Structure 1
Amino acid sequence: MLSATVLLVTGIAWQNLTALTDGLTKQDLNLADAGEKPADGAIDILLVGMDSRTDSKGNPLPPHILNELQAGGADDGGFNTDTLILLHIPNDSGKAYAVSFPRDSYVKIAGGFGRHKINSAYGFAKNKAAEKLQGSGKPAPEVEMESRKAGANNLIETIQTLTGATIDHYAEVNLVGFYDITKAIGGIDVCLNTKVRDSFSGANFPAGQQTIEGKNALAFVRQRHGLPMGDLDRVVRQQVFMAGLAKKMLSAGVLADSTKRNDMIKAVSGAIVLDDGWDITKFALQMKDMTGGNMTFQTIPTGNPDLQTPEDGSAVEVVESEVRTFVKNLGKGPASSNPADPKFDKASVTVDVRNASGQAGLAGQVLQSLVAKGFTGGQTGNADAMSKSVVRYGKGGEAGANAVQETLGGLKVEEDVNVPAGAVRVFLGSDYAGPGARGFTGSGVLALDGARQQPADPAAPPPISADGVRCVN
């Protein structure tokens, strides 16, 4: 989608766009006939990064490619979806929201498979369909593509049930496609807070800014072992990588270089699977004004990042109702059941912050963020581990608590007799991802027009933006 838009808005020859679209693999999937103005007021696109050992047409990858990718053998990996992003585009096309789903999110899987990690939704249905088709007499390539269609449909249904959104379009890229695209455009600029080394993904990077491509790019977005927040840190990596990819693909260095441009088109057209009803050319024309708009990266609300499950080991806790509310309110600002008086004097509220997340230094960072917003800083400290963040207040302190929770992104508010009268105390659980948190992207804006978007909160980390390189874990 991004490639088609780039070609259109920059006036690149139409034969380039034809070359891009002609090579795409299409699947007839169970999607709503949304038209130009969907009933829910937006276009919702499911973007999927597939951890498969086949190409987009179902052909096994050769051993030398698997060795280069450090992806194991042809029978390893199955059809797990390592990257899941819901791209939510309002009808005015002025702003878009890219919502990430941690691959280990523990949710209800469609098709009667029970509760499992979300990255298994595709594989469960794909394998079941393949078993049914084995005795059908159909050729192996046809069995492969039909079973993959079943996997994609089950993933779509799982996401729709989880979010309440209606998926209008579907795009999928596999390991080798990702590898080829990053090499074709000359790599992506990224930055790490500290050096990392991980034998599982093959990640071996120094600290600081660097340019990565091919197998190194794949290792960068796949690593989760050895990171402070595991799967949640990987989500942030994927988001900064997408921002870097957008910046590079929109740069004159790629668009003006015919070799890079042609290599990019070849890589994209041979690696992408789209739903059959998606006219990508028409869509790119509709979305061309997005280059002057914004894209905000978000992550679904999560709870305990080390939830122990009956069959899947450690997973990321997810409450479906919270996810549906989050998606419904995209672009509407923080929700609050008890909004604060806009004339309320924040300086009259002294806020204490307690760290119950296990993330070192979080209480101090959040308190700095609140002081920067006008509140009076109290004390910081640690508390027993909690999965859910909460704002507690003493007698007469409800108005101040409402103002604090709005500033932090709509946390739960409750009265507590242990909090002094008129005071407010914030308890930061493992789910906290608001101002002051590592990887906070609530105010982070990806400016596709090259304009730097400053974070609304000076105490929060800099935004994920196509105008710069954000250092991450």
Structure 2
Amino acid sequence: GPGQGGPGPGGPGRTGSPAGSGSSGRSWKFRRPRSWKRLIGWTALTVVVLLIATSIGTYFWADNKLHRTVNLTALPAQPPLGKGTNYLIAGSDNRGNLTAAQQKALHTGSDDEGQYGNSDSMMILHIGANGDTLLSLPRDSYVTIPAFTGASGTKYPASTHKLNTAFSWGGGALLAQTVEYNTGIHIDHYAEIGFGGFVNLVDALGGVQMCLDKPIVDPASGANFKAGCQTFNGAQSLAFVRERHQEAQQDLTRMANQQKFLAAVAHQAATPSTVLNPFKLYPVLSAGIDTLSVDTQMSPYDLAQMFLGMKDITSGSGHSLTVPIANANYYTPTDGDALLWNMSQAKTLFGELQNDQPITVTGTDAGSDVAGN
């Protein structure tokens, strides 16, 4: 009855909605927050789904773009599978993707080294539980090239030559076979970096910053740099990693520069300004993949692990060294001056890498002429 707060617009005691609002007012007031929460939830779910779809799409896009050329599983007499993961990284001077004008502008010379070109840079990147290690193998290392079968089916006996001869004779497959034969290290993956794509990769990154302790002038490579920190474009980067004529240790200093430069490229490619910007990330990924020839088992995940390992090297959490050397000017009757490894120390180092043990052998000092940032 009147004055008893029964059912009505205000509910018991008239503590509900203002008169005249009715049930529609209560519905609007209480459902609005639930609608916003639902919208936020669906938006978040949509973003997550898009990110997952984009990541999956990017993975398969990259997987289809990889240029796979070397079947490591077909190599004869491979060492047993080691612990950790070992990447063999080679820098190739094969100029097949450069025009004559580009070869002249980049000071690369003509491509007269046969089907596979030549390799001035060979490194083993070991990724394991005791930190990552980047080990340079000098191109003039005097090693045994094991018996192999050429592309035409001709069988060649084992012989002793410089390490880069293996690449010029049989490309990445024979190089990997030779490295395994002489080190006892099982090579899990192979990556070959070529001239033209390397230039495009650096340009896609917007350049790579390097810091030089001294000026560098090498007309043969086109290097002409002042001392101090500076950003190299693609052509300048190529000139830098190829220069050696002004260096007292020639190839050894060049290898040290190449190690540090590759680590700097990996570091810059992993920065948020690259990874979080799709307009930069995809050109970098495309140029990076176009730079490479890899083994048939290489996946985009394996490739990412390789670059993250290089990034670890530049951050100081790993080792960067050159194989221990006994004689850097060893005369040979067929190959001129070559380089002999210190086999006592080298065997210990190779065993530590194969078995993923802490590194106790420091190898040859990689030098400190350059600091990559």
Q: Alpha-carbon deviation of 1:50?
A: 0.7
Whole-angstrom CA distance in 1 between matches of 2:259 and 2:335: 26
Specify which structure has the bigger relative contact order, considering alpha-carbon pairs within 8 angstroms and separated by 6 or more residues. 2
In the alignment, which residue of structure 2 is the partner of 1:258?
278
- Could you tell me which amino acid in structure 2 is paired with residue 310 of structure 1? P
Alpha carbons of structure 1 residues 285 and 305: separation in structure 2 relative to 1, 3 Å: closer
In the alignment, which residue of structure 1 is the partner of 2:102?
65
In the alignment, which residue of structure 2 is the partner of 1:25?
67
In the alignment, which residue of structure 1 is the partner of 2:358?
332
Alignment of 1:404-415 (within 5 A): none
Q: Alpha-carbon deviation of 1:287?
A: 9.7
Find out whether 1:202 has 2:222 as its counterpart: yes
* 2:328 aligned residue (300, 305, 323): 305
Find out whether 1:106 has 2:142 as its counterpart: yes
Alpha carbons of structure 1 residues 275 and 99: separation in structure 2 relative to 1, 3 Å: same
Alpha carbons of structure 1 residues 114 and 321: separation in structure 2 relative to 1, 3 Å: farther
Q: Alpha-carbon deviation of 1:283?
A: 7.0
- Equivalent residues of 1:31, 1:167 under 8 A apart: no
Q: Alpha-carbon deviation of 1:179?
A: 1.0
Greater helix share, structure number: 2
Q: Alpha-carbon deviation of 1:123?
A: 0.9
Whole-angstrom CA distance in 1 between matches of 2:360 and 2:60: 43
TM-score normalized by the length of structure 1:
0.57
Q: Give the number of the structure whose alpha-carbon radius of gyration is greater.
A: 2
- Could you tell me which amino acid in structure 1 is paired with residue 360 of structure 2? P
Give the secondary-structure state (helix, strand or coil) at the position aligned to 1:73. Answer: coil
TM-score normalized by the length of structure 2:
0.71
Q: Alpha-carbon deviation of 1:17?
A: 3.0
In structure 2, list runs of 5 or more residues that go unmatched.
1-50, 148-156
Find out whether 1:217 has 2:259 as its counterpart: no
Whole-angstrom CA distance in 1 between matches of 2:85 and 2:189: 8
What is the CA RMSD across the aligned residues, in angstroms? 3.1
The percent identity for this pair of structures is: 30
Alignment of 1:421-436 (within 5 A): 433=364
Alpha carbons of structure 1 residues 182 and 311: separation in structure 2 relative to 1, 3 Å: same
In the alignment, which residue of structure 1 is the partner of 2:154?
none
Find out whether 1:81 has 2:123 as its counterpart: no
Query: Deviations 1:67-115 (Å, cap 9, x if unpaired)?
Result: 232211243686211211111122x4x6221111122222222333622
In the alignment, which residue of structure 1 is the partner of 2:91?
49
Find out whether 1:240 has 2:285 as its counterpart: no
Query: Deviations 1:293-339 (Å, cap 9, x if unpaired)?
Result: 9332121111222222223223322244542221212442436xxxx
Find out whether 1:15 has 2:42 as its counterpart: no
- Could you tell me which amino acid in structure 1 is paired with residue 55 of structure 2? A
* 2:168 aligned residue (123, 133, 142): 123
More displaced, 231-240 or 103-112?
Answer: 103-112
Whole-angstrom CA distance in 1 between matches of 2:169 and 2:145: 9
In the alignment, which residue of structure 2 is the partner of 1:439?
367
- Equivalent residues of 2:132, 2:318 under 8 A apart: yes
- Could you tell me which amino acid in structure 1 is paired with residue 146 of structure 2? A
Runs of 4 or more consecutive aligned structure 1 residues displaced over 4 Å after TM superposition: 282-293
Alignment of 1:322-401 (within 5 A): 322-330=345-353, 331-334=357-360
